Structure 1
């Protein structure tokens, strides 16, 4: 899971399964669209969301490689 923050005056944190992300758009705020059709406005920028997803996937693959040994 990755931690993001809903775009609101309180920057409400939430955790999201990156496998549910269909796309990330900046228009002008960053919106994450899920495979379910839900669209969430987040405080993070598109590069930040992409970086968090990339880091999460690297961690998952590294753990799988470690367990396979």
Structure 2
């Protein structure tokens, strides 16, 4: 019984840490990615899926969140 309790707790902890990692990594973009996002935005505007299609491993939602965060912190 104790073993199953421990495995449940470990699974819950690992699931929580995976969620934290995915949330943290969403807004961490390389300099190349940032430059590409800015260039693409200037060309196509807020067509996030089109921009995300040019950056492997990124979703339209990630791009949009990055852009909104970036523009919210700009003067």
Normalising by the residue count of structure 2, what TM-score does the alignment of the two structures yield? 0.39
Q: In terms of Rg, which structure is larger?
A: 2
Normalising by the residue count of structure 1, what TM-score does the alignment of the two structures yield? 0.42
Q: Which has the higher helix share?
A: 2
